[in-house]
């Protein structure tokens, strides 16, 4: 059944691509190509004050970013009092201290001498000869003309001439005369004509009552018609800034005088202007509007060639295999009427599995690239509301409880239970990311515990394996490293992102190696050896104590930590934006929890060996008195942590305490889940299914469920948020499941059990990564 779902998914992906490429109009409308025009003309409010442009994401520029973008630039605002308001809001992005003072009906200059940014407001409240002369001077002075021109006026013409039709006719004549001048300027500068916002007629003073929305619409229609027809054979270069009309329709009721917009609306319009001009220069990750598609790197081109060859190779192999199958197909004996079987079906070859896996992976990676790099699909900003987070949480919890089954074994943290744990945690984290709940501190602190719980399971699971099995062979290590890192390495190449960008995988990889080295170094202490002599338990505790000492040293010695991970080639893996601070922050945030997981595994396995625990079906873990007491303590501890996390006021302070206290809620949950025998005997198959692909879900969300490297939301179906979430989630889950199967299949091929063959493969992998380092160095030099 699920295979049919995945085939349907591939068909839906192919259909989307086909629609986007076969018709330029469809490409622009559905696939988000013309995001700059949408930014200037359409959008909606998320909540009360957050503006969402149609099809793309808007970046909120900081002072330093604005100055960096506008260095040595000249911006001119020319028009009436509404344009003056827009000027003030724009300048305040560069300098929030700028005061709205002085004579309102005169020119207002602004200059930031440090960044050489010059912004001028020129008072020309009517479209007349005076405005035309000002614009004409710019066309004749190529050196002094502004880089950006924002113009607009109409309400004064309506007011002075009492809304007469003659005034509208004169307006049309005047704007017709300046249209060629604006078009000429637009060939070398960015020119925006601001359409008139609606008014709130109830609040208008008596001397403005003639300014009606009907008149404003007539003036806007005249401006659009004339400016768009100023060039005969091509589209006008003068851009219509009509989005402020939509903003005003929602906010003009909050105006003080019915004519001028409230400050929050002006700030939104100014930020839109900043995005239109600066996004293509600074290329912010969360500002997809007006950004061109990034050029392909050499590594991406080589990856595309490799996957193309793999797809062609698989198709050739499939055709040959199919023809051979037809020749060997059972044929009917005409005399007896029975079928003759000519050949026994042969098992699937390693080559076929390899080619099929690479073919599917190539198609999936093409989808990743199209979603988050090619500007093929739309992207939108996140917007948090309590309902957008908690309603989906309740929904999945109901589903999880509904699909429950009996466990195969009733041990503490058995395989079904850990898969269930990973599954519901991953689903909660996914909802947290897509709803933008990181802005709500109590939710953020609880999600930090879920991330810590993943790392706790890393410590618990790997320690238990090495302690019980005593298998420190290279095959086991390579299998784990391959399964953890395969998808991320491929994404680093295809999506042109550093390894540290997918921070959780480096985190679990490093901690796995720490666990391995701690237990594998002399003396190797395993359960079988320790059972013969209790002193070995003491030796293992000394090892764990030394590990804790190393963790504490690195946690409080940022310099030493950064020196270690800044060494080449480690720096290529752990640097982000030119330094390893992000890696240090991520590692330090959950520095003790893996150690806690290892220690818990040691204590649990020791108690289990001495038969202190009752792990039979339906039996409480301890005696009734002890079980009830521990359950009470666990519930109180769990709720106490939640109360503390919900009362957090400062993220930095809470993050500082988190590494020491997160284990409280993790241990409380484990005891609540495992002490009652009936709770330990059942699990949610719904959550467990997601738990088996939790790593793939966590990584894939970056590019094919979320967008702009998790900063926004992918929009496959514009205009219908609910349907879009359903379709994109369906594709996302199918892809994650398929990648999990591909990783498992390739792991069997790339990491063979034979040591001699494995060493050859490792040598090949080493050569591959050396090549990647060389290509990465070449690309870094070309970028600089």
Instruction: Give catalytic residue positions.
Output: 81, 257, 260
Rounded to 5 degrees, φ, ψ at 241 are -95, 80
- Partnered with residue 45 across adjacent β-strands are 51
Kindly report the number of other CB atoms within 10 A of residue 737's CB atom: 21
- Partnered with residue 193 across adjacent β-strands are 151, 240
- Helix (H, G, I), strand (E, B), or coil: what is residue 346? coil
Give 33's DSSP letter.
T
Nearest residue to 69 (alpha-carbon basis) of 231, 216, 190: 190
Distance in angstroms (rounded) separating the CA atoms of residues 155 and 84:
13
Nearest residue to 706 (alpha-carbon basis) of 678, 732, 736, 738: 732
- Partnered with residue 779 across adjacent β-strands are none
Query: Could you tell me the sign of the dihedral formed by the alpha carbons of 581, 585, 587, 591, in that order?
Result: positive
- Helix (H, G, I), strand (E, B), or coil: what is residue 117? strand
Distance in angstroms (rounded) separating the CA atoms of residues 659 and 45:
38
Task: Check if the beta carbon of residue 288 is closer than 8 Å to that of residue 379.
Answer: yes
Distance in angstroms (rounded) separating the CA atoms of residues 489 and 284:
24
- Helix (H, G, I), strand (E, B), or coil: what is residue 566? coil
In sequence order, what are the residues at sequence separation of 6 or more whose Cβ sits closer than 8 angstroms to the Cβ of residue 404? 682, 683, 684, 685
Rounded to 5 degrees, φ, ψ at 50 are -95, 115
Q: Exposed/middle/buried for 35, CB within 10 Å: 0-12, 13-18, 19+? A: buried
- How far from the centroid of its chain's Cα atoms is residue 182's Cα? 40
In sequence order, what are the residues at sequence separation of 6 or more whose Cβ sits closer than 8 angstroms to the Cβ of residue 174? 126, 127, 128, 129, 131, 132
Task: Check if the beta carbon of residue 605 is closer than 8 Å to that of residue 471.
Answer: no
Task: Check if the beta carbon of residue 524 is closer than 8 Å to that of residue 480.
Answer: no
Q: What is the CA radius of gyration of the chain?
A: 32
């Amino acid at each position: 059944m699920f295979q049919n779902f995945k085939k349907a998914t591939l068909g839906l992906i192919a259909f989307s691509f086909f629609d986007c490429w076969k018709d330029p109009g469809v490409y622009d409308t559905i696939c988000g190509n013309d995001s700059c025009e949408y930014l200037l003309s359409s959008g909606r409010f998320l909540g009360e004050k957050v503006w969402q442009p149609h099809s793309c994401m808007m970046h909120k520029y900081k002072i330093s970013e604005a100055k960096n973008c506008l260095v040595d630039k000249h911006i001119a605002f020319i028009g009436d009092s509404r344009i003056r308001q827009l000027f003030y809001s724009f300048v305040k992005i560069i300098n929030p201290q700028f005061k709205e003072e002085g004579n309102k009906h005169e020119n207002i200059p602004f200059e930031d001498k440090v960044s050489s940014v010059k912004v001028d407001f020129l008072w020309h409240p009517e479209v007349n000869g005076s405005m035309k002369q000002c614009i004409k001077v710019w066309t004749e002075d190529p050196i002094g003309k502004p880089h950006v021109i924002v113009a607009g006026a109409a309400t004064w013409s309506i007011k002075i001439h009492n809304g007469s039709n003659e005034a509208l006719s004169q307006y049309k004549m005047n704007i017709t005369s300046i249209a060629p001048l604006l078009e000429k300027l637009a060939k070398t500068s960015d020119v925006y004509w601001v359409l008139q916002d609606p008014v709130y007629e109830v609040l208008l003073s008596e001397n403005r009552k003639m300014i009606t929305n009907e008149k404003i619409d007539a003036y806007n229609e005249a401006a659009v018609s004339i400016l768009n027809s100023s060039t005969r054979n091509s589209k006008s270069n003068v851009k219509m800034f009509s989005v402020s009309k939509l903003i005003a329709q929602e906010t003009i009721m909050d105006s003080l005088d019915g004519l001028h917009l409230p400050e929050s609306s002006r700030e939104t319009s100014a930020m839109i202007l900043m995005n239109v001009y600066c996004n293509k220069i600074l290329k912010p990750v969360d500002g997809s509007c007006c950004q061109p598609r990034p050029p392909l790197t050499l590594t991406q081109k080589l990856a595309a060639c490799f996957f193309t060859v793999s797809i062609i190779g698989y198709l050739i192999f499939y055709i040959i295999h199919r023809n051979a199958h037809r020749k060997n197909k059972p044929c009917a004996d005409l005399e007896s009427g029975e079928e003759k079987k000519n050949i026994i079906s042969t098992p699937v070859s390693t080559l076929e599995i390899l080619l099929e896996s690479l073919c599917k992976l190539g198609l999936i990676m093409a989808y990743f690239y199209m979603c988050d790099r090619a500007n093929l699909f739309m992207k939108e900003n996140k917007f948090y509301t309590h309902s957008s987070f908690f309603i989906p949480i309740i929904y999945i919890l109901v589903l999880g409880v509904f699909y429950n089954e009996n466990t195969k074994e009733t041990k503490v943290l058995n395989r079904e239970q850990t898969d269930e744990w990973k599954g519901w945690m991953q689903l909660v984290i996914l909802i947290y990311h897509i709803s933008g709940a990181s802005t709500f501190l109590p939710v953020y602190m609880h999600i930090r515990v879920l991330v810590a719980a993943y790392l706790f399971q890393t410590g618990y699971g790997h320690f238990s394996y090495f302690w019980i099995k005593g298998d420190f062979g290279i095959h086991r290590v390579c299998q784990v490293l391959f399964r953890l890192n395969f998808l991320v390495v491929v994404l680093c190449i295809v999506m042109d992102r550093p390894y540290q960008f997918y921070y959780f995988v480096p985190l679990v990889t490093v901690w796995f190696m720490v666990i391995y080295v701690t237990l594998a170094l002399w003396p190797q202490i395993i359960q079988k050896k320790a059972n013969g002599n209790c002193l070995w338990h003491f030796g293992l505790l000394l090892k764990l104590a030394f590990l804790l000492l190393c963790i504490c040293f690195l946690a409080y010695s940022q310099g030493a930590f950064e020196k270690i991970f800044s060494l080449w080639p480690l720096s290529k893996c752990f640097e982000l934006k030119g330094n390893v601070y992000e890696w240090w922050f991520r590692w330090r945030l959950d520095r003790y929890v893996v150690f806690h997981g290892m220690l818990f595994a040691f204590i649990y396995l020791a108690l289990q060996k001495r038969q202190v625990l009752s792990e039979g079906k339906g039996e409480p873990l301890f005696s009734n008195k002890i079980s009830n007491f521990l359950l009470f303590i666990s519930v109180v501890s769990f709720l106490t942590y939640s109360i503390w996390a919900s009362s957090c006021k400062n993220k930095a302070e809470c993050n500082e305490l988190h590494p020491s206290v997160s284990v409280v809620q993790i241990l409380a949950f484990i005891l609540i889940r495992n002490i009652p025998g009936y709770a330990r005997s059942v699990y949610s198959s719904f959550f467990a299914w997601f738990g088996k692909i939790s790593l793939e879900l966590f990584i894939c969300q970056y590019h094919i469920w979320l967008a702009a490297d998790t900063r926004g939301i992918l929009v496959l179906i514009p205009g219908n948020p609910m349907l879009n979430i359903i379709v994109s989630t369906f594709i996302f889950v199918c892809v994650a499941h398929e990648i999990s199967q591909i990783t498992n299949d390739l792991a069997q091929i790339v990491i063979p059990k034979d040591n001699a063959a494995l060493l050859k493969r490792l040598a090949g992998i080493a050569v591959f990564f050396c090549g990647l380092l060389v290509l990465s160095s070449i690309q870094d030099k070309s970028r600089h």
